[in-house]
Amino acid sequence: MATRAFSIEDGNLNSRSIITTRNKLFSDIDLTFSKRPSGDIFKKVDAAAVKQAVKNLLLTNAFEKPFQPTFGGNLNALLFELVDDESSHEIENVVEETITRFEPRAKVISVVANVEPDYNAVAVTVTFQVVNTEEVVTFETTLTRLR
């Protein structure tokens, strides 16, 4: 355990415990809005809450959130471009930048985008670590164009 230098005013530090870190519980409302028997709604905690937030962030288009026009991944706009060799790298960069910018609870480890031009779809796999924990979460989604 690391030792720290304290002043004499702190008193006898050998008899008291010093708390230097604090575990923070992340919690969000479950967006399925299913009810408990008591009438309350469920909540998501820790990794499930962060995973739900990342999913909502990536699936939000630009200008969908009032007064925050840059919020969201705006990935649907990338689906209507012509597919070339750089499309998957561009999607990966947008996803990583969006999560880094808008979700401070997640630290991106890797992003993989597989463009499937024959099916007009993109399969995106995001692996991230929940901040202040050792838990690694993998989130997968498929984006498709609707005609």
- Looking at the domain assignment, is residue 21 inside a domain? no
Task: Give the pLDDT band (50/70/90) at residue 40.
Answer: confident
Closest to 120 (Cα-Cα) out of 87, 86, 72, 74: 87
Q: Does some domain include residue 14?
A: no
Q: Which domain holds residue 58?
A: 26-144
Position of tokens 């006898």?
A: 12
C-beta of residue 61 within 8 angstroms of C-beta of residue 40: no
Give mean pLDDT, residues 19-25: 63
In whole angstroms, give the CA distance from residue 130 to residue 50: 7
Question: If you average pLDDT over every residue of the chain, what do you get?
Answer: 84
**Tokens describing residue 101:** 């910018």
User: How many structural domains comprise the chain?
Assistant: 1
Asked if the structure places residue 10 within a domain, the reply is no
User: pTM higher than 0.75 for the full model?
Assistant: yes
Is 49 domain-assigned?
yes
> 102-116 pLDDT, tens per residue?
999 999 999 999 998
Residue positions counted in the chain: 147
For position 9, what pLDDT does the model report? Answer: 58
Beta bridge partners of 144: 121
pLDDT of the residue at 12: 58
- CA–CA separation, 33 vs 104, rounded Å? 24
Any idea which of 7-11, 63-67, 72-76, 119-123 has the lowest mean pLDDT? 7-11
Q: Give me the CATH number covering residue 49.
A: 3.10.450.40
**Which amino acid makes up residue 130?**
V
